Chains A and B, each alone.
Chain A
Amino acid sequence: MRQGFFRRNATMVIVLGLIAVLGVIGWITMGQQPFVRTALSGLTIGALYFMVASGLTLIFGLMDVLNFAHGTMFMLGAYLGWQFYTNPTFLFGLFPLVLALLAGLVTSPILRGAFMHLKVSEKAQKTIQTAVALTGIAVIVLAVRGLDILGLAKTAMVATMTMGNPLAEASAQEPLALFWFRPVLMFIAGLLLATASARPGDQTQVVYASDKRRAWIITGSLLVLTVIATVFRESAPNAVLLWNGNLRFFAALVVGALCGAGLGAAVEVSLIRPLYIRPLYQVIVTLGLAYVLRETIQVLWDPLAYQMTRPPMFSQPGKAENILAWFSGQNLTVDVLGVTFPSYRLFIIVLGVLMVIALGLLMNYSRLGMIIRAGVQDRTMVEALGINVRRVFTIVFMLGAGLAALGGIGAAPFIPVQPNMGDAFQLQAFIVVVIGGMGSYSGAAIGALLLGLARAFGDYLALKYSLSPAIAEASTVIIMAIVLLVRPAGLFGKKE
């Protein structure tokens, strides 16, 4: 039993052993304090790398999509979480619109049943479809145009904040008398797009009664939610801002991750799904998406860099003697083995470890994880077993984007929030994925650990020999090259 364990996990044991040996050598040559400091910052970066790389590796392993927009998801998560934390007005103003659009979109099965039997010639079908879809997009533009997105984004920046107790102010929302027509228009746009996707006149489709019933229920509840969100749109930001800063921060983590997941789902359904027959174009479309999202962010928030304040939990002045003392003092820094280390970064390490464990449990002990693992091995076989792989694709894309967004909002308090903040992480995540092997989540964990430590110790060495950190950053490519020369499929990748 024991021997079998070692044989199965030989690579893992070897890599961890290698890290341990290098660690001992480092400890002896560097001395305790520099070593601990460097190792801790390496773990922090590694945790962030893992959050970006795990989604990337799952998405690639399962559906062969190389997502070049993954770093953008990281960046978006940071922006949205920061926005929620500092001034949620913008998000709450946008929320009813998204809900209304969704409510319209999910009516697709109902509309399909209704319009299926229309007598339309085959040639006209396509024209109608295009025309209706274009009208829908036009209605969306009409609904959003004039919405004070830019103004709202501007107010978020002047939100006053004091150290330790971030106090943000909610700016005024558009009056309801003007606002209500936007969700209505969005709903109509959703209906139009659903009509287009329902392919009116195409009698080859099948509509199940259960689908229809579900669509009715979802549409109804989404409409109710829209109304609620519209009504509470003004008071909700104020209420959120009255929350304790820590609570708001954790809510921001959740909101950032959820927004990222939602966006991931939208991207998969609208952009990736039509292109499964043309894999090259999937890669290209994600590149285009990254380009568009970055520009959009720059339109909304200007191409400046912002700094998110740390939540009060991690920003009380002074130094905690040990981690237990931090729980009562909630200090800015913690003494770890004689090294003064920011407590927030320790939190990131904990978050990363939690994510590794949570993903491990999900992948190994849940039905979804089983399907994902099976799909990575052989997608066609899973499909043949009667599992709706397309839905799993959407879920995995959501999961990956959500994780990346979580990493983004987690990183926001200690790196500047700016439009290209995700690029460096995406690049390193690529390297992590290549090192770890495509589709292997444990490979991503080990790769992230390896690369994070390599970056930290590389920076240390670069500083010691008075070089710039850029050299250390560029040299991670060399690690990748070495691993690939030894094992072209990565450490834990499936052999081709």
Chain B
Amino acid sequence: MPKHFKAFARRQEFWLAILFAVLFVGLSIARPNFLSLQNGVDLISSYAYTGILVSAMLVVLVAGGIDMSFAAVATVAQYAALTVANSWDIGWLGVLLIAAAIGIILGVINGLLINILGLSAIIVTIATQSVIFGLVLTATKGQDIFSLPGWFTDGVAIPFHTTLDGYQYFINVQMIGLAVALALTWFVLNRTNVGRQIYAMGGNVEAARRIGYNVFRLNLFVYGYMGLAAGLASIVHAQYNMSVSPTALVGRELDVIAAAFLGGASATGGSGTILGVVLGIALVAVVQNGLTLLGVSSYWSQFFTGIIIVVAVASMARDVRRRWYDNPGAA
């Protein structure tokens, strides 16, 4: 047990967990309504879109890649799926299938380009982001979709708690989407053969190739998975916003990428865990929520958010350095 603990204590997740716990306890004491059910529901609902994307971004980062095009992909997926839903009664299943299919197709195109061109993923996906977003703006003329079908804006509402004065709390689309994405990503990375191969490929692509892993197919899977997540996240986002705008998502990709790095995913591939990214998002969410709850002026909140990220990244750097010291060349 102490040995396990020692191993855990060296990981990024450990420091994140401590930082998170400190904030959590501190905020709970300072502002009792931080712990209220409503606040929890609010936080999960508003971070579901980011959370779903961060979990898929983890898979991409573990594989040693990166994807800058997911917001453009999500924009196409939500615009197309809900345009169709406004004309035909396709229901939730139809909307999700269209968004998922568009996401997977565009994601696989990314994977193919990265494989075939042999260029770095960041260049390829910035280019595809630009192409996709350009097409969206041309096709939609920048027009938002303001009215969506009633069944869509009503969403899913499964009551799970009723207060004494009759106020009901519901499980909503955002919670379901986030839970599915986190569970699926955990399963893929930790319980499947493909998941182990992705870690191996991210750690050392040449070694993975020589062992006989099909790097080409793995890349298609990884970027296809990112596309799928973008498709699903886009629907969760449209439901939260109750409208669709072609300009609402692109340009805000860094929120997602920063949360993944904060959660300990390595920029060079091969490492990162779902626990880490959950803690990464939770930390960002709780810091911003907490600053407002504490009544900190908006002019300061960016500063504090920055400080938290610096602390987290500094702990990560220390961690990497120590691993290097213990085992030179392996970090």
Do the two shown chains form a genuine complex with each other?
no
Which residues of B approach A to under 8 Å, CB–CB?
none
Which residues of A approach B to under 8 Å, CB–CB?
none
